[in-house]
Amino acid sequence: MAYTVLGGCSDDCFADFRTWLVGCGRDRYERAPRQPDSLCEAFREIPAGEIPLLEWFLHVPFDRRFGEGSCDQAYAAFGFGLEQLLDPEHAWSHEDEGSISVLCPGVFSEFWGNGRF
């Protein structure tokens, strides 16, 4: 989804996307891998040209207050650890738009290549 909406996605960008998704709440976070198109509404709520960097708004101050690594420990305690992210069952390639559209057809049709973010 992050790759589709953002028109590409580095590791750092994915970390920001994941943090944004965690900030959307547990229901959206857990539903996203099973129903990626359920995020279309959330993507529409983000003003054009902006990518919420909750990483800074959450992670950095949290670690300053509670110690380095505290935010990652909190993610894990609430079940938001990396091990909770399941790989999609469908293989995709960044070179094959068709394979991307199969994973999240609604997100793809609305956000792919529109330059919104």
Q: In whole angstroms, what is the distance from residue 54 CA to residue 38 CA?
A: 20
Enter the DSSP assignment of 26.
H
Residue 12 CB neighbour total at 10 angstroms: 9
Q: Which residue has the tokens 């959206």?
A: 28
The pTM for the full model equals 0.58
- How far are the Cα atoms of 24, 37, 85, 90 from residue 31, in angstroms, in the given order? 11, 10, 11, 17
pLDDT band at 89 (very low <50, low <70, confident <90, very high): low
Q: Reduce the DSSP state of residue 77 to 3 states and report it.
A: helix
What percent of the chain clears pLDDT 70, i.e. is strictly above it? 79
Give tens-digit pLDDT for 49-80. 666 556 555 677 778 888 988 877 877 776 65
Q: Reduce the DSSP state of residue 68 to 3 states and report it.
A: coil
Q: In whole angstroms, what is the distance from residue 57 CA to residue 59 CA?
A: 6
